[in-house]
């Protein structure tokens, strides 16, 4: 399939994220290693780990990989980063049950990744979780992204722990504070 670059959405430290369009006009995301980066195996890591996550229906769908040219193409997720989402009007309007459902789904994904031994390693800040809306079901769901620093360490999975501390316990965390307020939780 041929793709055309539409625009760069993120210029990262080591990679660039592009919105791209295929011949049929469908939009995808291309994550591409910047030439200057020395992390040359980034695309391969991302591709392999994301494929594994996809095998249990987690993460954006992987569409194409090219390890020679250091890029992966994946499904485009429309939505905000979790970190920004908790400060949005949309979050403000959500009731307890809806917030609870969103969190429950995120924890479910964390546990599922733990079960296959795929440790994401960067779930603690909320930048690598996008929050999107399933139009048909009108459901708000989290999608975990950015698997380039993931590792396979059986018995040392930490996704659930990282997520619960980020979502509830972190005493200085802005996200945890927002969620505790919403759900009327207190730290002792
Ligand atoms: N599949 C995607 N759909 C929509 N936006 C994405 C997608 N993948 C990445 N992004 C955007 O690009 C940003 C950086 O991507 P990420 O994979 O986290 O790269 P980095 O390794 O630079 O952190 C994300 O925070 C998100 O805003
Ligand atoms: Mg990231």
Give tens-digit pLDDT for 64-80: 999 989 999 999 999 99
144 vs 58: CA distance, rounded Å: 7
Q: How many other CB atoms are there within 10 angstroms of residue 61's CB atom?
A: 14
Asked if residue 46 lies in contact with residue 147, where contact means CB atoms within 8 angstroms, the answer is yes
Q: Is 83 left (phi over 0), alpha (psi -120 to 50) or beta?
A: alpha
165 vs 171: CA distance, rounded Å: 9
> Which residues of the chain are in CATH 3.30.200.20 domains?
3-75
CATH class assigned to 80-183: mainly alpha
60 vs 50: CA distance, rounded Å: 8
> Which residues of the chain are in CATH 1.10.510.10 domains?
80-183
Task: Give the pLDDT confidence score for residue 13 in this predicted structure.
Answer: 78
Asked if residue 113 lies in contact with residue 119, where contact means CB atoms within 8 angstroms, the answer is yes
128 lines ligand 1 (CB under 6 A): yes
- For residue 146, the CA-to-ligand 2 centroid distance in Å is 5
Residue 27 has pLDDT above 80, yes or no: yes
Asked if residue 27 lies in contact with residue 5, where contact means CB atoms within 8 angstroms, the answer is no
Ligand 1 closest atom vs CA 17: 12
SS3 61: coil
Residue 170 has pLDDT above 80, yes or no: yes
| Pick among 3.40.50.720, 1.10.645.10, 3.30.200.20, 1.10.540.10: CATH of 3-75 | 3.30.200.20
Task: Give the pLDDT confidence score for residue 154 in this predicted structure.
Answer: 80
Residues with CB in 5 Å of ion ligand 2: 128, 146
């Amino acid at each position: 399939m041929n793709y055309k670059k539409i625009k760069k959405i993120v210029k990262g430290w080591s990679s660039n994220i592009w919105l791209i369009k295929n011949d049929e006009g469908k939009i995808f995301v291309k994550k591409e290693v910047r030439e200057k980066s020395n992390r040359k195996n980034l695309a391969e890591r991302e591709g392999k780990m994301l494929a594994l996550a996809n095998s249990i229906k987690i993460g954006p769908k992987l569409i194409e990989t090219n390890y020679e040219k250091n890029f992966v193409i994946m499904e485009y997720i429309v939505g905000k980063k979790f970190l920004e989402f908790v400060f949005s009007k949309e979050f403000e309007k959500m009731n307890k049950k809806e917030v609870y459902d969103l969190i429950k789904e995120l924890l479910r994904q964390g546990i599922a990744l733990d079960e296959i031994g795929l440790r994401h390693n960067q779930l603690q800040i909320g930048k690598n979780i996008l929050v999107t809306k399933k139009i048909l079901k009108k459901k708000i769901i989290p999608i975990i992204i950015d698997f380039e620093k993931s590792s396979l360490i059986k018995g040392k999975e930490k996704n659930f722990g990282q997520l619960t501390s980020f979502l509830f316990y972190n005493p200085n965390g802005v996200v945890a504070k927002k969620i505790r307020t919403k759900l009327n939780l207190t730290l002792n």
